[in-house]
Amino acid sequence: MTVTNDNCEMPRAKGEPGGLHIGVIGGGQLGQMLGLAGVAMGHRFTFLDPAYEPPAASIGRHIRAEFDDAEALEQLAVECDLVTLEFENVPLASAEAVDERNCLMPGPRALAVAQDRLEEKQFFEGLGLGVAPWEQIDSVRDIVRGVKHLGGASILKTRRFGYDGKGQVRLADSAHAAHEGGPGNPGEAASAWEAIAGAPAVLEKMIDFEREVSIVAVRSRTGEIRFYPLATNTHRAGILWQTVIADDEPLQHEAEAAARLVLEKLEYVGVLAIEFFVRDGHLLINEMAPRVHNSGHWSLGGARTSQFENHIRAILGWPLGDTAPAGAAAMLNLVGRMPDPEAVLAVPGSSWHDYGKTPRPRRKLGHVTVTAPDHITLESRLDRLKTLIAPPDAA
């Protein structure tokens, strides 16, 4: 696919001083951290977000409007030098409207693929990348058939609007269905279908993975590409709990090769994250996120250049920064309730990030990053932090 948007010429002649006005669709914590990185480089920001006081409103101007508000989108596109996003479920028509008036990076094509799990799987398969076995689901009958066909436990996911494990139902092994009332039984298939409100879905085979990893990659509008070290992620209750960066990761090369294919096929501009399952020592793609990603938050202080700074550099066509880790690094999410910042910061190497959100169960309120000179020290610092920070399933 070729990008033919004439608006995507460089917004300013090379060497000309002065910051740019960057528009961001979405004003959550990802927007806030993008803004913090960009302001430090001399840029200013406008965020479009329907919330009253979203986290990013503390960093720049806030246009309070729905993501399909044509007038607000037009204002953002006209007033800003370029536009990016921090939320992947921006309606496609809105993304296209902004891209017609300005230059949206990443563009509508990347969004279209990432917004629909079915399109996404077909896209990965088209690139020759492995995904978990899956079936398209449009009815209860499809679920019954799909569970039998996939064999073993499976997971039903709505094609659209899933995050933090929402829109998902786990189904037990159909082999036990007949005598245990499992999903081979139409009753359970029907209740799973009801639980996702009959939305178009995919059924995936449950992967008995060794671990979950993700790669955060960045491609500049000049075509330059860089990769962060592979992150190992631990989820609790469907929410990311911990990310750890390994110094000697055997799957780094395989993950980079996959990410490069995706970035180049989409002529992607900005930061992109891809989540994988590791099984039999190899990668199966779970999904991608066309934006800065929670599993890249460790890079704030843990890498020479954060994912946020590199995203801003990428959309401006500026040279990308070094993605190497500054040592051993990890991140813990603060979900549901906040711990005592002073106790957290008493752990050496840790830093505190508070998004300024009202606490609610399962809500990501902040994160803590921690660095150390080596992995043994990192593990002991993480152990200490875990006595202070409740995991998502306990918060």
Catalog residues that contact ligand ATP under the rule CB under 6 A: 132, 155, 157, 162-166, 204, 206-207, 212, 235, 238, 240, 275, 286-287
Nearer to ligand ATP, 313 or 364 (CB): 364
Nearer to Mg ion, 238 or 356 (CB): 238
CB of 289 to ligand ATP, least distance (A): 7
* Interacting partner of 238 out of Mg ion, ligand ATP, none (Cβ under 5 to 8 A depending on kind): ligand ATP
CB of 286 to ligand ATP, least distance (A): 5
Nearer to ligand ATP, 45 or 276 (CB): 276
* Interacting partner of 152 out of ligand ATP, Mg ion, none (Cβ under 5 to 8 A depending on kind): none
Assign 3-class secondary structure to the chain. CCCCCHHHCCCCCCCCCCCCEEEEECCCHHHHHHHHHHHHCCCEEEEEECCCCCHHHHCCEEEECCCCCHHHHHHHHHHCCEEEECCCCCCHHHHHHHHHHCCECCCHHHHHHHHCHHHHHHHHHHCCCCECCEEEECCHHHHHHHHHHHCCCEEEEECCCCCCCCCEEEECCHHHHHHHCCCCCHHHHHHHHHHCCCCCEEEEECCCCCEEEEEEEEECCCCCEEECCCEEEEEECCEEEEEEECCCCCCHHHHHHHHHHHHHHCCCCEEEEEEEEEECCEEEEEEEECCCCHHHCCHHHHECCCHHHHHHHHHHCCCCCCCCECCEEEEEEEECCCCCHHHHHCCCCEEEEECCCCCCCCCEEEEEEEEECCHHHHHHHHHHHHCCCCCCCCC
Nearer to ligand ATP, 188 or 204 (CB): 204
Q: Among residues 120, 131, 206, which one has the least CA distance to residue 170?
A: 206
CB of 1 to ligand ATP, least distance (A): 24
CB of 287 to Mg ion, least distance (A): 5
* Interacting partner of 203 out of ligand ATP, Mg ion, none (Cβ under 5 to 8 A depending on kind): none
CB of 143 to ligand ATP, least distance (A): 15
* Interacting partner of 230 out of ligand ATP, Mg ion, none (Cβ under 5 to 8 A depending on kind): none
Residue whose C-beta lies closest to Mg ion? 275
CB of 60 to ligand ATP, least distance (A): 25
Whether the CB-CB separation of 295 and 332 falls below 8 Å is answered with: no
* Interacting partner of 165 out of ligand ATP, Mg ion, none (Cβ under 5 to 8 A depending on kind): ligand ATP
CB of 16 to Mg ion, least distance (A): 40
Nearer to ligand ATP, 277 or 318 (CB): 277
Pattern 234-273, Mg ion, x by CB under 5 A: ----------------------------------------
Instruction: Give CA angle at 92 (90, 98), nearest 5°.
Output: 80
Pattern 266-305, Mg ion, x by CB under 5 A: ---------x------------------------------
Bridge-partner residues for 131, per DSSP? 285
Cα(104)–Cα(268) distance, integer angstroms:
11
CB of 284 to Mg ion, least distance (A): 13
Nearer to ligand ATP, 364 or 381 (CB): 364
Query: In the structure encoding, which two tokens stand for residue 107, read together?
Result: 């563009």
Nearer to ligand ATP, 168 or 185 (CB): 168
* Interacting partner of 316 out of Mg ion, ligand ATP, none (Cβ under 5 to 8 A depending on kind): none
Nearer to ligand ATP, 61 or 148 (CB): 148
Place of tokens 């006209």: 78
CB of 316 to ligand ATP, least distance (A): 27
Place of tokens 């500049």: 220
| Binding interface with Mg ion (CB under 5 A) | 275
